[in-house]
Amino acid sequence: MNFIEELRWRGMLQDIMPGTEELLNKEKVAGYIGFDPTGDSLHVGHLTQIMTLIHFQHAGHKPVALVGGATGMIGDPSFKSAERNLLDEATLQHNVNSLKNQLSKFLNFGEGETDAKMVNNYDWFKEFGFLEFIRDVGKLITVNYMMSKDSVKSRLDGDSGLSFTEFSYQLIQGYDFYYLWKNHNCKVQMGGSDQWGNIVTGSEMIRKIDQGSAFAVTTQLIKKSDGQKFGKTESGAIWLDAKKTSPYKYYQFWLNASDDDAKNWIKIFTLKTKEELESIIAKHDEAPHLRLVQKALAEDITIRTHSKEAYELAIKTSDFLFGNGSLSFLAELNEEEVLEVFDGVPHYKINRADIENGIAILDLLAVHTAVFPSKGEARKMLQGGGVSLNREKLTDLEQIVSKDLLINDSYLVVQRGKKNYYLIQVI
């Protein structure tokens, strides 16, 4: 497998330093990408870099994931509008451990020649004194060189300015490249196109310190076809951590992609071959309403990020909320999983004592809960056949809701109209 050609046909490649492709075609080398541990979870914006490391590994090279425990204390200024909050060491260590666990889902870690390796730049910076650093590293790169980087100029032209702390970031990232080149045979650094300036600073250090050669590859920054930032929704970022973004919401993010976006993203975020993708896209174009590309994309990336079981639960949840799927799958879930399925759905709690003797349906819908603002409105919609309880349409205005109807001995699911759901929890 030709690593660069793989990135190229998938539409991922942005810039490549001269000599990089020749190096990778003749040698098996290590290459790294840095991940910023300012949070305890990666999000879908990191997936391009994760996929880059996967392709690198499949091409027979050794991927190195650098978690920036040291640089995370500073914050990369690249194309950011303001300086980041600095984190304490304990928080950073928690974040580093969390990111390592997430990356392990995508990469094969181990001691083999092509097994992935995790490193933390805090390990080589924690004993590096400030005076020693500015003497041995700071002298290698001129201020003029650092000022010429677009990531720096964009901040200097803005209102917030740029602190010395952030200005020094490219020196630290540059030294990372030198350290990994020197100690881990990392001859290539990869990253998003916004990292080009920081990466070439590292290759310049390697040339000046040891007259060595190091190379760079950057990938395109992914955008949505409508110009919006990839990975952001009205509710915020789409995280890889199931506790921050449920597998159902994660699945829905990919499923709701436009046709144009899905056709681009399935090349970038899956490992399907060119022939497989051409077949899927051709079938999709014959019947776009079936959304075959979106479904194939959502299935692949949800299973890889979470699990087959999480994907199947997302399917059942989707079928239930948007189709005629059964409620029976809820019986297999614990309380946390049930509440996750109904995340974003109005949620009411009633006392168990109230349902022991049964509750009149109108009281349940308009007194014990606020599914309807009044009994009159509830009665009117019931008479029109517009209310269901646990997927069964309600027709009897005098019905008594007893504990026998509870799902998992704890829940009632009310549907008002076709798309409005309400979860009632007995406590």
Per the annotation, the verdict on 26 as an active-site residue is: no
Query: Is 46 among the catalytic positions?
Result: yes
Sign of CA dihedral 107, 110, 114, 117: positive
Indicate if 243 belongs to the active site: no
Quick count: other Cβ atoms within 10 Å of Cβ 6?
19
For residue 374, give both structure tokens. 């009044």
Maximum Cα interatomic distance, the chain, rounded to a whole number of Å = 87
Count CB neighbours of 323 within 10 A. 7
Of residues 91, 220, 233, 399, which has the active-site annotation? 233
Q: What is the amino acid identity at position 357?
A: N
Task: Please say whether the beta carbons of 116 and 108 come within 8 A.
Answer: yes
Residue from 14, 15, 58, 84 carrying the catalytic annotation? 84
Cα–Cα distance between 338 and 321 in angstroms, integer? 13
Among candidate residues 205, 180, 174, the one with its CA nearest the CA of residue 118 = 180
Q: Is 63 helix (H, G, I), strand (E, B) or coil?
A: strand
**173 annotated as a binding-site residue:** yes
Active-site residue, 43 included: yes
**Are 98 and 41 contacting, i.e. CB atoms less than 8 angstroms apart?**
yes
Active site residue 284: no
Helix (H) or strand (E) holding 31: strand 30-35
272 is catalytic: no
Annotation marks residue 194 as catalytic? yes
- Specify whether 229 is catalytic: yes
Q: Which of 224, 232, 244, 347 is catalytic?
A: 232
Tokens for 106? 């995508």
> Which of 10, 20, 40, 46 is labelled catalytic?
46
Question: Do 423 and 411 meet the contact criterion of CB atoms below 8 Å apart?
Answer: yes
Q: Is 169 annotated as a binding residue?
A: yes
Q: Check if 62 is active-site.
A: no
Q: Residue 169: which residues within 8 A CB-CB, separation 6 or more?
A: 71, 74, 75, 76, 77, 198
Q: Three-state DSSP class for 419?
A: coil
- What is the DSSP annotation of 128-167? --HHHHHHHTGGGS-HHHHHTSHHHHHHHTSSS---HHHH
Q: What is the dihedral of CA 49, 54, 59, 61, to 10 degrees?
A: 80
Residue 84 among the catalytic residues? yes
Copy the structure tokens of residue 54: 């996967």
Q: Is 22 exposed, middle or buried (0-12, 13-18, 19+ CB in 10 A)?
A: exposed
**Closest alpha carbon to 294 in 308, 280, 307, 282:** 280
User: Which is the catalytic residue, given 80, 207, 379, 403?
Assistant: 80
Q: How far apart are CA 290 and CA 126, in angstroms?
A: 54
Q: Which residue has 């497989």 as its token pair? A: 276
Please report, in range form, the residues annotated as the binding site.
Answer: 32, 169, 173, 232
Please list the active-site residues: 38, 43, 46, 80, 84, 173, 194, 229, 232-233
Please report, in range form, the residues annotated as the binding site for L-tyrosine.
Answer: 32, 169, 173
Please report, in range form, the residues annotated as the binding site for ATP.
Answer: 232
